[in-house]
């Protein structure tokens, strides 16, 4: 029994440097099972599941001797928790799929994940993506999926019926909302704060980053350095204010408080609501349930206050990472090389409908994409994109979704919410040990 004290106490006393931890734990943990199977931990979303299955099927067809098992974990914050716990305890399987950007930074990648920057297969991954999975000089991930836009998915039929134009400024957007409200057949804006869907409330703030950067080009760096904040930067505060305006004007669907993400998508396709601020990977979700539904929708970037050229805030897809605890990384590396190749994206294209451009050189997108995807592609072609804040700064507070739910529900004012979120952000920055906090 005394042996149990060994892994605990010296480490606690020493303040437990994580490198020591990881090394020490590798000895006593099982990591993945060493039965020759390649184990990959993925989240339980429809989109990740079908993309990974397509990749695995194509890979095992070419390598019949390899067996790959997908282990599924819950999504959302519970999933973040599992990933962190398993990394900390040295129990991560051979590979795992996870977000890029600030969520990745919270995993302490330089000490937990293998640096892939020396691998030749990484040469074909675009720099834009590499930026989202880099910490220090090390590059950690290989993208699965395509670029994602954050903005407004809208019902094409409703726009046609009411003779509306795609708005390029916030005022035009609000005018469209008023017109939809006056027509009286549908809710102008869908919000979904129901079970496990509160995250969707963040889009008004997060997808506004293109507009924030247009007004304040240095915003991301100043924000990371604790020099600019949501509450004292008018352009950044606008996202919170817009949510409050929409809610106060009565543009939201009546059941916003209990509707879930999937129900919101169904309502949008059915025309019960016309605008839904969301990420474009929702299209994969819709396709899984209602393949025809995807063609009913269009997409535009979240409009801002400035009349400059309207653009879109973009998200990088998640990536596959190789934990340092993997003692026999050969098979995992080989699989990563496949994912980073054109064969990899062809496999993805064959398995799941493409929703945006790939981040791998030489990968092509089929020409007959749904209208929303074509509209997103147009922003990329015109160069009117900017990454979401979480890909420019490691700092993202964990409570934003509760705060934006409060704004959308009329419990808290925009200014109050922005100040509260700044506090939340501070906590995260202190945990990361950043300078200036």
Q: Which is nearer to other proteins, 69 or 216 (CB)?
A: 69
Cα separation, 135 vs 113, whole angstroms: 10
Per CB under 8 A, does 114 bind other proteins?
A: no
Of the listed pieces 272-280, 310-318, 364-372, 409-417, which binds other proteins according to CB under 8 A?
A: 409-417
Q: Which is nearer to other proteins, 244 or 314 (CB)?
A: 244
Binds other proteins (CB under 8 A): choice among 80, 208, 287, 422:
80
Per CB under 8 A, does 45 bind other proteins?
A: yes
Binds other proteins (CB under 8 A): choice among 409, 413, 415, 437:
409
Cα separation, 237 vs 255, whole angstroms: 26
Of the listed pieces 153-161, 218-226, 309-317, 425-433, which binds other proteins according to CB under 8 A?
A: 425-433
Do the beta carbons of residue 251 and residue 187 sit within 8 Å? yes
Binds other proteins (CB under 8 A): choice among 82, 183, 337, 415:
82
Per CB under 8 A, does 368 bind other proteins?
A: no
**Alpha-carbon distance values, 105 to 266, 311, 413 (Å):** 34, 27, 30
Q: How far is the CB of 352 from other proteins (least distance, A)?
A: 16
Per CB under 8 A, does 268 bind other proteins?
A: no
Q: How far is the CB of 224 from other proteins (least distance, A)?
A: 17
Max Cα-Cα span within the chain: 76
Per CB under 8 A, does 267 bind other proteins?
A: no
Do the beta carbons of residue 124 and residue 361 sit within 8 Å? yes
Binds other proteins (CB under 8 A): choice among 123, 127, 165, 254:
254
Q: Which is nearer to other proteins, 75 or 175 (CB)?
A: 75
Binds other proteins (CB under 8 A): choice among 117, 178, 185, 195:
195
Binds other proteins (CB under 8 A): choice among 84, 175, 245, 434:
84
Contacting other proteins within 131-170 (CB under 8 A): none
Q: Which is nearer to other proteins, 342 or 409 (CB)?
A: 409
Q: Which is nearer to other proteins, 205 or 420 (CB)?
A: 420
Q: What is the dihedral of CA 208, 214, 220, 222, to 10 degrees?
A: -130
Cα separation, 207 vs 278, whole angstroms: 8
Per CB under 8 A, does 327 bind other proteins?
A: no
Pick from 66, 19, 59, 3: nearest CA to 338: 59
Backbone region of residue 16 per phi and psi (left: phi > 0; alpha: psi in -120 to 50; beta: other values): left
Binds other proteins (CB under 8 A): choice among 23, 378, 382, 411:
411
Per CB under 8 A, does 261 bind other proteins?
A: yes
Tokens of 91: 């129990």
Strand bridging mode 134-135 / 141-143: unpaired
Residues contacting 109, CB < 8 A, separation 6+: 133, 135, 138, 140, 321
Per CB under 8 A, does 364 bind other proteins?
A: no
Q: Which is nearer to other proteins, 260 or 342 (CB)?
A: 260
Contacting other proteins within 273-302 (CB under 8 A): 289
3-state secondary structure of 189: strand
Pick from 420, 340, 325: nearest CA to 107: 325
Q: How far is the CB of 420 from other proteins (least distance, A)?
A: 6
Q: Which is nearer to other proteins, 201 or 375 (CB)?
A: 201
Per CB under 8 A, does 402 bind other proteins?
A: yes
Per CB under 8 A, does 270 bind other proteins?
A: no
Of the listed pieces 89-97, 298-306, 352-360, 385-393, which binds other proteins according to CB under 8 A?
A: 89-97
Cα separation, 258 vs 33, whole angstroms: 42
Q: Which is nearer to other proteins, 208 or 285 (CB)?
A: 285
Residues making up the chain, counted from first to last: 437
Cα separation, 28 vs 325, whole angstroms: 11
Tokens of 354: 């493409």
Q: How far is the CB of 306 from other proteins (least distance, A)?
A: 30
Backbone region of residue 376 per phi and psi (left: phi > 0; alpha: psi in -120 to 50; beta: other values): alpha
Residues contacting 236, CB < 8 A, separation 6+: 208, 212, 216, 219, 223, 228, 229, 230, 418
Binds other proteins (CB under 8 A): choice among 161, 255, 295, 334:
255
Contacting other proteins within 218-247 (CB under 8 A): none
Pick from 154, 147, 111: nearest CA to 129: 147
Binds other proteins (CB under 8 A): choice among 51, 54, 87, 147:
87
What x-and-dash track marks residues 15-44 binding other proteins by CB under 8 A? Answer: xxxx--x---x--xxx-------------x
């Amino acid at each position: 029994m005394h042996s149990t004290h060994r892994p605990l106490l010296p480490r606690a006393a020493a303040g437990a440097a994580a490198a020591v931890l990881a090394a020490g734990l590798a000895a006593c943990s099982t990591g993945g099972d060493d039965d020759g199977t390649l184990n990959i931990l993925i989240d339980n979303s429809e989109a990740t599941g079908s993309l990974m299955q397509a990749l695995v099927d194509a890979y095992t067809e070419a390598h019949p001797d390899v067996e790959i098992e997908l282990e599924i974990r819950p999504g959302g914050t519970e999933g973040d928790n599992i990933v962190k716990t398993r990394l900390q305890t040295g129990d991560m399987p051979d590979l795992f799929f996870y977000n890029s950007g600030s969520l990745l930074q919270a995993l302490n990648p330089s000490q937990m994940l293998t640096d892939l920057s020396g691998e030749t297969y990484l040469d074909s991954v675009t720099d834009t993506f590499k930026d989202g999975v880099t910490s220090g000089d090390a590059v950690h991930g290989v993208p699965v999926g395509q670029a994602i836009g954050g903005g407004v998915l809208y019902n094409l039929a409703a726009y046609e019926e009411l003779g509306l134009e795609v708005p390029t400024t916030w005022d035009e957007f609000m005018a469209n909302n008023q017109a939809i409200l006056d027509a009286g057949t549908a809710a102008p804006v869908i919000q979904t704060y129901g079970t496990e869907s509160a995250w969707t409330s963040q889009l008004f703030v997060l997808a506004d980053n293109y507009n924030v950067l247009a007004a304040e080009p240095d915003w991301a760096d100043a924000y990371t350095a604790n020099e600019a904040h949501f509450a004292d930067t008018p352009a950044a505060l606008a996202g919170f204010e817009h949510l409050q305006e929409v809610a106060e004007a009565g543009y939201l669907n009546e059941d916003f408080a209990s509707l879930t993400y999937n129900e919101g998508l169904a309502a949008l396709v059915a025309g019960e609501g016309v605008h839904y601020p969301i990420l474009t990977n929702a299209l994969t979700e819709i396709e899984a349930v209602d393949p025809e539904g995807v063609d009913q929708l269009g997409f535009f970037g979240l409009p801002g206050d400035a009349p400059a050229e309207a653009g879109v805030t973009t998200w990088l897809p998640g990536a596959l990472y190789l934990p340092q605890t993997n003692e026999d990384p050969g098979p995992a590396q080989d699989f990563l090389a496949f994912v980073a190749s054109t064969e990899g994206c062809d496999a993805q294209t064959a398995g799941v409908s493409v929703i945006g451009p790939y981040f791998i050189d030489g990968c092509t997108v089929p020409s007959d994409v749904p209208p929303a995807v074509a509209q997103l592609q147009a922003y990329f072609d015109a160069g009117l994109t900017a990454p979401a804040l979480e890909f420019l700064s490691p700092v993202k507070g964990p409570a934003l979704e509760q705060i934006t739910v409060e704004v959308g529900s009329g419990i808290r004012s925009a200014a109050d919410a922005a100040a509260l979120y700044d506090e939340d952000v501070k906590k995260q920055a202190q945990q990361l040990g950043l300078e200036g906090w």
